[in-house]
Amino acid sequence: MAMPNEPTVAVAGVTGAVGQEMLACLEGRGFPVGRLKPLASARSAGKTVRFRGEDITVEELTTASFAGVDIALFSAGGGVSKEFAPAAAEAGAVVIDNSSAFRMDPEVPLVVPEINPGDAAAHHGIIANPNCTTIVTLMGLNPLHREWGARSVIAASYQAVSGSGAGGIAELEAQVKAIAEGRPVERQVYPCQIAFNVIPQVDSFLDGGYTKEEMKMQNEGAKILGAPGFKASVTCVRVPVYRSHSIAVTAVFDSEPDVARARELIDAAPGVRVCDDPAAGLFPTPLDTTEQDDCLVGRIRKDIVLDKALTFWVVGDQVRKGAALNAVQIAELLVGR
C-alpha cells in the first residue's frame, strides 16, 4: 500500500524526552504530517502537546489506537513496543521503533538512513531504530568502512545521562545541587553517584563481563553495515554530561587507511563532519553537538599499536541523531523525501 502524501502520524511515548524531540524534528524538518496522534500511558492521557502552533490532547495508548494511522513512531520502552507495535502494524501502520525490542529480529530492518536506507523498503510493518551509541559510532565509521572495510573496533563510550531518560537528567541535576549546598547525595537511577563521577556500567551485565549496551555495537553494527564478521570490543561509561554521547574508537580495516583521505571521506558523507585541528584546540565535545543534527569527528590518527588501524573521536546528540532524528529520517524514507 502506497504511503499517503500527508500521512497520519502517531507518536507513542510522546511526553518523554525522545517523544518530545520527535515532535520537534517532525515540525522542524517540515515533515508532511496530515494528522498527529499523540499517545502515552493512562497517567499522561489528557495532557496536551504543542505541535505547529496547536495544543493537541494526548490519548491513552491502547491496541485500538492505530486505526487510520500510517506511521507510528514508538519511544516508550521495549515492553510497550512488544505489546503494542504488532497491533499497530496489524492495523496498517508502519512502526518505527526506538527500543531494542525488534532490532535483532531478522525480519525487521535496522536502519540508519545515511548508511543503509535501502533496507527500510524490506519492512513487514516494523522498522527498528538502532541504539544511540551504535548510531553515533557508525556515523563516523561508515565512510571509512566503505573505503577500506572495517573488520573490528575497540571503543570506549562516554554516555550522557539523557540515555537514561528524564530520570537520569533529573538525578544529575539534583546531585549537583545537593553537593553545592552541602547536602547528602541521593541516588535512584544509577548504582553510584553520577555527579562529578563516571560509572563504567551502562545496562546490565552478561556472561563474559560485557553489558547489553556494549554488545549492541557489535550485533547491531554488523547488521547495519552488512558485515557479518564485524567485531566490537566496547566499554560503555556513563558520564555527568546532560546530553550527547562521545565515543573513542580504534578501527581495524582490511586495507591500509590514510588519515588525510579519512578526513575527506567523512566530510563528504551526509550527517557527519570533521572537526579536527588539535593544535588549534579544535575537536568535538558534547556541547558542540547538543541539539544539532550532525555528528562530529576529530582526533583522527593512525593507531600506533594495531596494523591497518585508525583511531578517532566521534560525538553526537543522543536524543536527536541517536534517537528522534534518526526515526524521523526513516519516516522520511517512507514518504520518499
57 and 149 co-located in one domain: no
pLDDT of residue 283: 98
Closest CA to 251 of 335, 87, 128, 139: 139
Residue 126: φ, ψ to 5°: -135, 135
pTM (2 d.p.): 0.97
Spell out the residues 6+ positions from residue 131 whose beta carbon is closer than 8 angstroms to its own.
Answer: 100, 103, 213, 216, 217, 220, 322
- Interstrand relation of 48-51 and 54-57 (parallel, antiparallel or unpaired): antiparallel
Neighbours of 78 (CB within 10 A): 16
Residues 80 and 156 in one domain: no
Q: Which of 21, 30, 138, 5 is nearest to 73 (CA)?
A: 21
Q: Is residue 2 part of a domain?
A: no
State the DSSP H helix or E strand holding residue 63, giving kind and residue range, or none if neither. Answer: none
Is residue 38 located within the same domain as residue 146?
Answer: no
pLDDT at 2: 81
| Tens-digit pLDDT profile for residues 185-201 | 999 999 999 999 999 99
CA atoms within 13 A on the CB side of 95: 29
- What is the predicted pLDDT for the residue at 1? 65
Q: What is the pLDDT of residues 26-63, one digit of tens each?
A: 999 999 999 999 999 999 999 999 999 999 999 999 99
Do 73 and 147 belong to one domain? no
Is 132 annotated as catalytic?
yes
The one catalytic residue in 123, 245, 275, 295 is 245
Pair 142, 122 in one domain: no
Same domain, 24 and 38: yes
What's the grid cell of residue 204? 546490565
Residue 195 lies in a domain: yes
Known active-site residue 236 = no
Mean per-residue pLDDT, 2-21: 95
Give me the count of residues in the chain: 337
Catalytic annotation, pick one of 132, 236, 275, 295: 132
Q: Is residue 1 part of a domain?
A: no
- Claim to verify: residue 241 and residue 156 sit in the same structural domain: yes
3-state DSSP: the chain helix, strand, coil percent, rounded to 5?
35, 25, 40
CA 199 – CA 50 distance, rounded (Å): 36
Other beta carbons within 10 Å of 218: 18
Q: Give me 148's grid cell.
A: 577500506
Counted domains in the chain: 2
What CATH number is associated with residue 58? Answer: 3.40.50.720
Task: Write the pLDDT tens digit of every residue in 274-320.
Answer: 999 999 999 999 999 999 999 999 999 999 999 999 999 999 999 99
